[in-house]
Amino acid sequence: MPKNKTNSGAKKRFRLTGSGKVMRERARHVHKFQERSSRQARRLVNDVEVAPADAKKIKKLLGK
C-alpha cells in the first residue's frame, strides 16, 4: 500500500500539540509590523486553536 503524503500547504500553516489540538498563527502576523502598533503586534504573536469544525479536515491533511 502506498504511503500517504502530507499536504505541503497544511504543514506550513498548522501544527499539532501533544494533546492533539490543531494550532494556527493569527492572520496579519507575518509581515509589515512597522505599520502596526506594538500592542497589536504583541496580540498577534500567540497561536490560537483552530475551529472544531475545521480541525478534523486539517488533521487529515497532516496525515494524522
Residue 60 and residue 39: Cα distance in Å, rounded?
Answer: 35
Residue 3 maps to a domain: no
Is position 27 within any domain?
A: yes
**Can you say how many angstroms the Cα of residue 35 is from the centroid of all Cα atoms in its chain?**
23
In a domain, 1, yes or no: no
pLDDT, one tens digit per residue, over 20-63 is 999 999 988 888 878 889 898 889 889 999 999 999 999 999 99
In a domain, residue 2? The reply is no
> What residues does 14 pair with on adjacent strands?
24
Q: What is the pLDDT of residue 19?
A: 95
- The domain tally of the chain equals 1
Interacting residues of 21 by C-beta distance below 8 A, sequence separation 6+: 49, 50, 55
Quote the CA–CA distance of 59 and 23 in Å, as a whole number.
11
pTM of the full predicted structure? 0.79
CA triple 36-40-45, angle to 5 deg: 110
Band the pLDDT of 11: cuts 50, 70, 90. Answer: very high
